[in-house]
Every structure is written in structure tokens, then in C-alpha cells.
Structure 1
Amino acid sequence: MSRTSEQYQRIINSSKEIFIKKTKDYGTSWRVLRPISIVDQIFIKAQRIRNIQEMGKQKVDDDISNEFRGIINYGVIALMQMELPDEPYNDLPLDTVSSLYDAKIGLIRQVMEDKNHDYGEAWRDMSQESFTDLILTKLLRVKQILRNDGKTLISEGMDANYTDIVNYAVFALIKLEEAKHQL
């Protein structure tokens, strides 16, 4: 397994662990979220990261890495919601949620591997700020797609944008881990 693959899996494992524990605590309450609400949840997290990056300080103890993990998990929620029936008040069994999470991550990871092949891991030379800005850009695109009733003329759909958002958040976390190890 390559270094990126190992790092990616470690990030996903920790993100899924949080997701599953929260599902045990709250059930699948996230099922009630409409598409715009999921966008807004991710937006709040990304905007907080951007504010901290720009100000260089924070007042709330929750660190940036937790926000990126939240972005990963809300991105997976968005992709799951796109395929689940519109039954927001029916709780899903934990094993079903875990399987759905794994299936979505499998697709997201395959996109990452394909792009890494073609782009030669160019993300490793990107700044932390760029990942945040790209996540915000993708969110604004999803908002526009929602205003267009989910349709695009020639552009990628919402699923591709969420896939990229998750991968950017994973890359940001990998870079944060590497920066900690260099200190």
C-alpha cells in the first residue's frame, strides 16, 4: 500500500469512527436534512476554517482537523441522501449505515486514486488555504445546481462536487498530520 493510500485510510477510519459513534448517540437524525441544509452544514465548517486561517487564531477549542472530519462525514451524508428514499423520520439500522458509508467512501476513494494517477499527486504541493477555498467553491456550485433543480448543462453534478469536497478534506487532514510530524 502506498503512503497516500495508508494516510487516506487512516483519515477515513477515524472519520467513520466518529460517524458511527454519533449514529449510536443520535440515530440517523441527519436523514431529516434537505440538500441545502447539508450544503450549509459543510459551509459553516469550511467558513470557520477559512476564518481561522485568515485570523491566525481561534476562540473555540474545536480544532481545524475536527472541522475537516465533519466535512468528510457531511459529504458522505450528502451522497447517501441522494440515493436513500425520502423517509427522513425512519431510523436506519447501524449496520446499514455502516455499509452505505463504506460504499460511498469506496467510490470517493476510487476517484481520488484515478485523479492521483493522472495528476501525479499535485495536491501535495497545494496550500491548506487552497483546499478550504476549493471546498467553498464546490459548495457554491452545489447551491447553484440546487437552484437549477439539480440539473446541469455541461458541468459535473452534485455527486461529483461532494466527492471532490470529501477528497479535499482528506488531503487537508493528511497535510495537517504531516505538518505535526515535522515539528
Structure 2
Amino acid sequence: MAICKTLFLKKTHDYGTAWRILRPESITDQVFIKAQRIRTLEDKKVARVDEDVTGEYIGIINYCIIAMMQLESDSATPMELSEDKVSQWYDDKARETKVLMFAKNHDYGEAWRDMRVSSLTDLILMKLLRVKQIEDNKGLTLASEGIAANFQDMLNYSVFALIKLGLQ
């Protein structure tokens, strides 16, 4: 997460908080693009762009943080935020997601350690399809977790993938 946050803050320095313009559906699509590229590379085993999948998982993590921040935002939230505010907000969302991860790891016995990275990719894609359906339903669910919980799961799956790929 430190690697992800460092990159996020460097981009915040370079671009400001331009991501604040993104609607939730656009963020979902950005995560989808990254997850789909990972799956394509896993299937084809050849990349034509000189960027490995670790960068894509980092991108998923950061877009998931953006999604959670945007879901919490309202019309009173300024478009431009200070780097300090963004850093604190990032930490808050990462901390909330880490708490969820530890709770689920306890209940699931850290099953992710025995999973293939490709399965983590598939789970991210499945969560994205769920989020798209919830978005299409205007956020209404009958028996399902909400959008933010799905982004938290995708973030955690990406962290697990990075650990399995040797990025620590």
C-alpha cells in the first residue's frame, strides 16, 4: 500500500485532483480496463506494451481508493483538494479496507494464499460486473453489499495479487 500511495500522491502533485471530475461509472470502467488488460496478458502470455501487470494492480488499488472517496463526496466537496487532505483521505480508506481484509482473512482462513493470481483477477472482474449492475439499478440492492464494499474487495484482491507476484 505504501508503493500505491506514493504513486498516487506523486500523480496528485502532477495532476491535482482531476479525478474528482469522474462519475462513479467512469471509475468502474477505469478499473475494468485495468483488470481486463491483466486477464488478457494472463491468457495471451505476451504484452505488446512495456508495462507489466503489477502496475495494473497498483492502478486498480488507486482507482478503488478514488471510487470510495468519490462515493463519499457530495456537491460541497471541492474539486481541488490539497495534497494533505488527499493523503489523509487515502489513509482513511486504506485503513477501513485493511480492517475489512483482516476480518475476512480470519473468517476465510487466508484462503487467498492458496489461490492463483488469475483467480484473483477473475474475482475482480466478477466484482466489477456486480458493481456495474448495482450502478445500472441506481444503487439499489435487495440482498447484496453496496458499491463501496465491492471496491474494498477489489482493492484487497489486488493487494493479494501483488503479494503473490512478489511486490512487498
Q: Please give the TM-score of this superposition, normalised by the length of structure 1.
A: 0.89
Which structure 2 residues correspond to residues 1-150 of structure 1 after superposition, within 5 A?
Answer: 12-86=1-75, 90-150=79-139
- Sequence identity (%): 55
Q: Which runs of 5+ in 2 are unaligned?
A: none
Contact map agreement 1:32 1:89 (CA 8 A) in 2 = no
Offset at residue 87 of structure 1 (A): 6.0
Once residues 154 and 14 of structure 2 are traced to their aligned partners in structure 1, the CA distance between those partners, rounded to angstroms, is: 26
2:161 paired with 1:172: yes
Once residues 21 and 59 of structure 1 are traced to their aligned partners in structure 2, the CA distance between those partners, rounded to angstroms, is: 26
Q: Please give the TM-score of this superposition, normalised by the length of structure 2.
A: 0.97
Once residues 76 and 104 of structure 1 are traced to their aligned partners in structure 2, the CA distance between those partners, rounded to angstroms, is: 6
Once residues 76 and 44 of structure 2 are traced to their aligned partners in structure 1, the CA distance between those partners, rounded to angstroms, is: 42
- 1:32 counterpart letter in structure 2: I
| Cα displacement string for residues 108-136 of structure 1 (whole angstroms, at most 9, x for unaligned residues) | 00010011111111000000111110000
Once residues 133 and 73 of structure 2 are traced to their aligned partners in structure 1, the CA distance between those partners, rounded to angstroms, is: 22
| Cα displacement string for residues 50-81 of structure 1 (whole angstroms, at most 9, x for unaligned residues) | 00000011010111000000000000000000
- 2:161 counterpart letter in structure 1: A
Once residues 90 and 57 of structure 2 are traced to their aligned partners in structure 1, the CA distance between those partners, rounded to angstroms, is: 17
- 2:61 counterpart letter in structure 1: I
Once residues 142 and 86 of structure 1 are traced to their aligned partners in structure 2, the CA distance between those partners, rounded to angstroms, is: 22
Contact map agreement 2:25 2:132 (CA 8 A) in 1 = yes
Offset at residue 86 of structure 1 (A): 3.0
Once residues 107 and 88 of structure 1 are traced to their aligned partners in structure 2, the CA distance between those partners, rounded to angstroms, is: 20
Contact map agreement 2:21 2:79 (CA 8 A) in 1 = no
The number of residues matched between the two structures is 168
Q: CA separation of 1:87/1:43 partners in 2, compared to 1, >3 Å: closer, same or farther? A: farther
CA-based RMSD of the aligned residues comes to: 1.4
- 2:131 counterpart letter in structure 1: V
- 2:49 counterpart letter in structure 1: V
Once residues 75 and 127 of structure 2 are traced to their aligned partners in structure 1, the CA distance between those partners, rounded to angstroms, is: 24
Once residues 52 and 87 of structure 1 are traced to their aligned partners in structure 2, the CA distance between those partners, rounded to angstroms, is: 41
